[in-house]
Amino acid sequence: MNCTDCLEKLDRYVDRELTDEELEDVKRHLEDCPPCEDLYRLQVNMRRVVKVCCDQGVAPEHLRSRLREILF
Amino acid sequence: MVLVAEHVADTDRNDGFADEAIQHLDTLYRGALRLTRDPARAEDLVQDTYVRALRYQNSYQVGTNMKAWLFAIMRNLFWDRFKGGRPEDVSLDGDGQFALYDTLRDPSAMPEADVLDRIAAEEVVKAVEQLPELHREVVLLVDVEGFSYKEAADVLGVPIGTVMSRLHRARRQLQKLLYDYAQESGIVHSTGDGE
């Protein structure tokens, strides 16, 4: 696998959307290729940071009460 | 007696549906906030989503992914209500939109992985909210909510390949927005000065 093939599969690697065989190929390439490994670490971190930052906050209590009246 | 039995069965089913649906309220509200970027609109969107979900609850198959089902309702309402139609009408999938960014892509535009941890949470949210809606919603579904490509494709009503291409563009754009912010705020220094 070369870098172009690896970068083409990197999103799917990060998102666990590759077949086992593809996953192994990418993994092996990353072990031998520091620039691709850097990009991989960046992608993983970005996904983590986006999740943590966007996953904060709760619905206002008045909305919850209103929905309870509608739903129940 | 039959009528009473039917009524009880209906009530049980409704209660189960409502119990499960309300568990997704915080998640839906956060998604609505990211989509509308406005707390009042987000509340309206969430309320309308639940009203519609209740009305069409018979089309929900018990045991399937209710969060995905609710997200699909909310996202369609969002496009109908706030954007004047479903996004297929105003597709951004052509290459033109991001050709500029492609030409700007260079190694110095790639922040170090640990730089991301030094960016304040509200700046990350702001960057996500700057993405075009078509890209923002796929980031919400996959990166924030953890949907698989298939689940996201079902919610959005598009092929998996479209999810992948939107996600790829969204992430590259996000990377650039965060890098620009990190530079402006002095978290990283430009490497393009030739010094």
Task: Determine the 3-state secondary structure of B132 from DSSP.
Answer: coil
Give dist(CA B136, CA B54) in Å, integer: 27
Closest CA to B74 of B18, B32, B129, B27: B32
Tens-place pLDDT, residues B39-62: 999 999 999 999 999 999 999 988
The pLDDT value given to residue B62: 85
CA distances from B18 to B40, B119, B184 (A): 23, 39, 47
Cα atoms in the 13 Å half-sphere on the side-chain side of A38: 9
Q: Is A71 on the interface with B (CB under 8 A)?
A: yes
Give dist(CA A72, CA B97) in Å, integer: 46
Instruction: Using CA coordinates, name the residue in chain B closest to A59.
Output: B26
Instruction: Read off the pLDDT of each residue in A11-22 and give the average, rounded to a whole number.
Output: 96
ipTM: 0.93
pLDDT more than 90, % of chain B: 56
Tens-place pLDDT, residues B139-173: 999 999 999 999 999 999 999 999 999 999 999 89
Residue B106 has pLDDT above 90, yes or no: no
The pLDDT value given to residue B176: 87
Determine whether the interchain pair B116/A60 forms a contact, defined as Cβ–Cβ distance below 8 Å.
no
Tens-place pLDDT, residues A29-71: 999 999 899 889 989 999 999 999 999 989 999 999 999 999 9
Q: How far is B164 from chain A (nearest CA, A)?
A: 8
The pLDDT value given to residue A54: 94
Q: Is A3 on the interface with B (CB under 8 A)?
A: no
User: Residue-wise over B16-39: b if at least 16 C-beta within 10 A, else e?
Assistant: ebbeebbebbbbbbbbbbbbbbee
Q: Is B34 on the interface with A (CB under 8 A)?
A: yes
* A66 closest CB neighbour out of B47, B112, B128: B47
Q: Give contacts of B 131-190 with A, CB under 8 A.
A: 139-140, 142-144, 146, 148-149, 164, 167-168, 171, 174-175, 178
pLDDT more than 70, % of chain B: 74
Q: Is B108 on the interface with A (CB under 8 A)?
A: no
CA dihedral B41, B43, B49, B51 (to 10 degrees): -120
Query: 10 Å Cβ neighbour count for B144?
Result: 20
**Amino acid identity, position A42:** L
The pLDDT value given to residue A44: 93
The pLDDT value given to residue B185: 86
Longest dimension (CA), chain A: 59
Closest CA to B124 of B185, B54, B167: B185
The pLDDT value given to residue B171: 92
Residue B13 has pLDDT above 60, yes or no: no
Give the confidence band of B114 by pLDDT, cuts at 50, 70, 90: confident
Give the confidence band of B95 by pLDDT, cuts at 50, 70, 90: very low
Give the confidence band of B65 by pLDDT, cuts at 50, 70, 90: very high
Give dist(CA A13, CA A44) in Å, integer: 10
Q: Give contacts of B 41-70 with A, CB under 8 A.
A: 43, 46-47, 50-51, 54
Give dist(CA A44, CA B100) in Å, integer: 25
